[in-house]
Chains A and B, each alone.
Chain A
Amino acid sequence: MTLRQRLNAMALSCLVGISGAALSVATASAQDEPLTSLREAREAAEMRDQTRLSELLDDRQALETALEDAREANQQAQQEQEALAAQRNEQQALQQELDARQAEQGEDFDRILDALARHSTELRESLSGSWINLGETELPPRLDGVDVLEGRHIEQLFDRLMALTAKTATIEKQQAPVADADGVIETRDVIRLGDFAAFTQRDLLERDEGDSTLTVAPRTPPEVADILSAFFQGETRQVAIDPTQGQVLAALAQQPSLLERFHQGGAVGYVVVALGLFGLLVALLQYIYLLGVTLKVRRQRRQLDKLQEDNPLGRVLLRFYSLDNHQAPEALEARLDEAVLAELPRLERGQPIVKLLAAVAPLLGLLGTVTGMIVTFQSITVFGTGDPQLMAGGISQALVTTVLGLVTAVPLLFAQTALAGRSRQLSNIVEGQASATLAEHLESRSPYQPHTVNRDADRAMA
């Protein structure tokens, strides 16, 4: 009876649902029709539902078959449920067994897997900047996402590692895109030397960490470039490598050239060099003048009877001959000395300034040293002593100015010595010749007359 009641209720609710649907359809279709027609339609639908319900209640046979169907379905579902429960039990047993086994061995395998994953990651990282993966070499596989360790993982890692190791012993020539100093990327021939280096025809290469593009090293020394190009063309078996994986190259790039060193000297350095050049110019001009004077004096001494105004010796002798000859020898000598003395400033011109500059240049270098030291100590005050590179700027200024001062002083000293030597020689000649002429003159006045004096004096001077 209960089943019947339930079925009735089912059928009823079904009908209500249908009538609801019909109602909704009716409302949807009759939206723009008058309300009266809507009510009529609802009433008609209710009437139809009533008739269908009564028909169903009357048809007992149909209800029976439906009930049979439902029973059969129920039985089938129960059978299915039993089968599934059995399967579940089976699987639970399997899981228990597996859990037990894992508890027994799993810890060791986990550890191995962890170590493998860590090592493979580390290897990939450390090899990312290495030269051996320059071509299409495969790196060891990533094992981070793997849950269960399998034999092939270990084998793969091992094989890759062996392949990479073998590759470190090979020299390969291949084509690769290379960025030059201007950033233009071109495909060029590249030779890779094991894990040490790679280079093109003239330049060593470097690569960024993780980035696969190659760049030309900032400063390849010319001798290294020669060796490389010879190796490239197969003329030599000698080759230059950087065993520190790029550190030496970076150091070379940092090392300043001679000109950069000069500029490190700063303002003091410029002043020192400018002063030195000025002193050298003065010395050069004066030395050229002295050379001219020497030539003229030499010509004058060859022809003492034709005195000329264009050289100190000629001027002194002309002055002497223009004097009143009948004076005491001492007075004549005094006059002569005076004439010689008047010639000296022109011969010694420029010497004081060259001497001064030669003395000042090292002093200025010292000044630069002290200012550089001050800069260094200031940077120590600000940044501390932790990083020697921060102090390097001031220190190189300090040292470079000293070098510049010394280097400037050396040629100036040479110039000064040359100037002093020549001017002294000239003044000695003028003085000696003038004295000899005076003596000859006096002797020609005196009672005995050795006329050889002039020639004697000449020989003595020669």
Chain B
Amino acid sequence: MLIEQWLEPLQRLLEAGGSVLVVLAVLAVVLFSMALERWWYYRVTWRMARRSLVKRWAAREDHRSWSARTLRQVWADELIMRLRRPLPWLKLLVALCPLFGLLGTVTGMITVFDSLTLSETHQARAMADGVARATLPTLTGMAVAVVGLLFISRLEHVIRREDQRLHDRLARAVEDTHA
């Protein structure tokens, strides 16, 4: 009962906005769950992986030769790549949001013109339904895209910082073992 009450505005929104809103909602859910997954990965898995890499690097005897530096670079790149892997997909989803918003707008416009053709009279009421259908998806698409952009810029920032920090940690680990 309570859930129905809570869901009612959502249902009305979907009725007003048409099926494109459903697609946008799915898109938003995927986008946010991916962002959440990244956050979880960064908080838990990433730290463990970083620690084990630092340990492995420190366990090596040779740290200064060219080959050692190459290996360090390869390992660090590998780890950073794992952190970066879903970024293109996040970017894709963010790019899709305005596209779908526009799609909803255009289909809504088609609804408007259909109702215009059918009703023949210049009734504002006949158009109102289609106008809601035209404007709501754009609004939703923009909103989701903006939030997604925030996620992306934050993630990129994290990746850049972690790249530097990883190298710092590796260098410091060597200093500690040699000291």
B-binding residues in A (CB < 8 A): 251, 254-255, 261, 329-330, 333, 362, 388-389, 392, 395-396, 399-400, 402-403, 406-407, 409-410, 413-414, 417, 420-421, 425, 428, 432, 435-436, 438-443, 446, 448, 450, 453, 456-457, 460-461
Bound-state Cα–Cα, A453 to B70, Å: 12
A sample of 5 inter-chain contacts (CB < 8 A) reads A255-B114, A330-B66, A399-B110, A406-B102, A460-B78
Whose C-beta in chain B lies nearest to the C-beta of A390?
Answer: B117
Q: Inside 8 A of B65's CB, which chain A residues have their CB?
A: 442-443, 446
Do A388 and B116 touch across chains, with their CB atoms under 8 A apart? Answer: yes
Q: Does B118 contact A (CB under 8 A)?
A: yes
Do B117 and A392 touch across chains, with their CB atoms under 8 A apart? Answer: yes
Q: Does B48 contact A (CB under 8 A)?
A: no
Rank and list the top 4 A-B pairs by shortest CB-CB distance, nearest first. A439-B67, A442-B67, A251-B118, A417-B92
Do B78 and A432 touch across chains, with their CB atoms under 8 A apart? Answer: yes
Do B67 and A438 touch across chains, with their CB atoms under 8 A apart? Answer: yes
Q: Inside 8 A of B68's CB, which chain A residues have their CB?
A: 439, 443
> Which of A396, A399, A441, A442 gathers most chain B CB within 10 Å?
A399
Do B89 and A417 touch across chains, with their CB atoms under 8 A apart? Answer: yes
Q: Interface digits, B117-159 against A, CB 8 Å rule (1 contact, 0 not)?
A: 1101000000000000000000000000000000000000000
A-binding residues in B (CB < 8 A): 53, 56, 60-62, 65-68, 70-71, 73-75, 77-78, 81, 85, 88-89, 91-92, 95-96, 99-100, 102-103, 106-107, 109-110, 113-114, 116-118, 120
Q: A388-B117, A438-B70, A440-B67 are in contact. List 10 more A-B contacts (CB 8 A).
A: A255-B118, A388-B116, A402-B102, A406-B100, A420-B88, A438-B67, A446-B67, A448-B61, A450-B61, A450-B62
How many Å from the CB of A268 to the closest CB on chain B? 14
Residue of A392, A414, A435 near B74 (CB, 8 A) is A435
Q: Inside 8 A of B95's CB, which chain A residues have their CB?
A: 413
Residue of B60, B73, B96 near A435 (CB, 8 A) is B73
Q: Inside 8 A of B60's CB, which chain A residues have their CB?
A: 450
- CB-CB under 8 A for A417 and B103, given A389-B117, A436-B74: no
Bound-state Cα–Cα, A425 to B71, Å: 18
> Which of A254, A392, A460 gathers most chain B CB within 10 Å?
A460
Do A432 and B77 touch across chains, with their CB atoms under 8 A apart? Answer: yes
Do B113 and A399 touch across chains, with their CB atoms under 8 A apart? Answer: yes
Q: Inside 8 A of A432's CB, which chain B residues have their CB?
A: 74, 77-78
Q: Inside 8 A of B89's CB, which chain A residues have their CB?
A: 417, 421
Q: Inside 8 A of A261's CB, which chain B residues have their CB?
A: 110
Q: Inside 8 A of B77's CB, which chain A residues have their CB?
A: 428, 432
Q: Inside 8 A of B109's CB, which chain A residues have their CB?
A: 399
Q: Inside 8 A of B120's CB, which chain A residues have their CB?
A: 388-389
Residue of A333, A392, A396, A435 near B71 (CB, 8 A) is A435
Interface SS of A by simple majority: helix
- CB-CB under 8 A for A254 and B92, given A396-B110, A428-B77: no
- CB-CB under 8 A for A395 and B62, given A254-B118, A413-B95: no
How many Å from the CB of A345 to the closest CB on chain B? 20
How many Å from the CB of A335 to the closest CB on chain B? 14
Bound-state Cα–Cα, A308 to B88, Å: 32
Bound-state Cα–Cα, A460 to B52, Å: 11
Q: Inside 8 A of B92's CB, which chain A residues have their CB?
A: 413-414, 417
Do B66 and A329 touch across chains, with their CB atoms under 8 A apart? Answer: yes
Bound-state Cα–Cα, A333 to B88, Å: 29
> Which of B61, B74, B99, B100 gathers most chain A CB within 10 Å?
B74
Do A403 and B103 touch across chains, with their CB atoms under 8 A apart? Answer: yes
Whose C-beta in chain A lies nearest to the C-beta of B57?
Answer: A456
Do A453 and B71 touch across chains, with their CB atoms under 8 A apart? Answer: yes
Q: Inside 8 A of B88's CB, which chain A residues have their CB?
A: 417, 420-421
Q: Inside 8 A of B103's CB, which chain A residues have their CB?
A: 403, 406-407
Do B81 and A428 touch across chains, with their CB atoms under 8 A apart? Answer: yes
How many Å from the CB of A416 to the closest CB on chain B? 8
Bound-state Cα–Cα, A445 to B100, Å: 58
> Which of A396, A439, A453 gathers most chain B CB within 10 Å?
A439
Residue of A395, A409, A425, A438 near B113 (CB, 8 A) is A395
How many Å from the CB of A355 to the closest CB on chain B? 12
Bound-state Cα–Cα, A177 to B75, Å: 84
- CB-CB under 8 A for A392 and B106, given A435-B70, A439-B68: no
Q: Inside 8 A of B73's CB, which chain A residues have their CB?
A: 435
Q: Inside 8 A of A450's CB, which chain B residues have their CB?
A: 60-62
Do B106 and A448 touch across chains, with their CB atoms under 8 A apart? Answer: no
Do B113 and A436 touch across chains, with their CB atoms under 8 A apart? Answer: no
Do B96 and A399 touch across chains, with their CB atoms under 8 A apart? Answer: no
Do B74 and A460 touch across chains, with their CB atoms under 8 A apart? Answer: yes
Whose C-beta in chain A lies nearest to the C-beta of B113?
Answer: A395
How many Å from the CB of A429 to the closest CB on chain B? 9
Q: Inside 8 A of B75's CB, which chain A residues have their CB?
A: 460
How many Å from the CB of A344 to the closest CB on chain B? 16
Bound-state Cα–Cα, A442 to B70, Å: 11
Whose C-beta in chain A lies nearest to the C-beta of B65?
Answer: A446
Do A409 and B117 touch across chains, with their CB atoms under 8 A apart? Answer: no
Do A400 and B110 touch across chains, with their CB atoms under 8 A apart? Answer: yes
Q: Inside 8 A of A255's CB, which chain B residues have their CB?
A: 114, 118
How many Å from the CB of A326 to the closest CB on chain B? 15
Residue of A330, A414, A461 near B78 (CB, 8 A) is A461
How many Å from the CB of B50 to the closest CB on chain A? 13
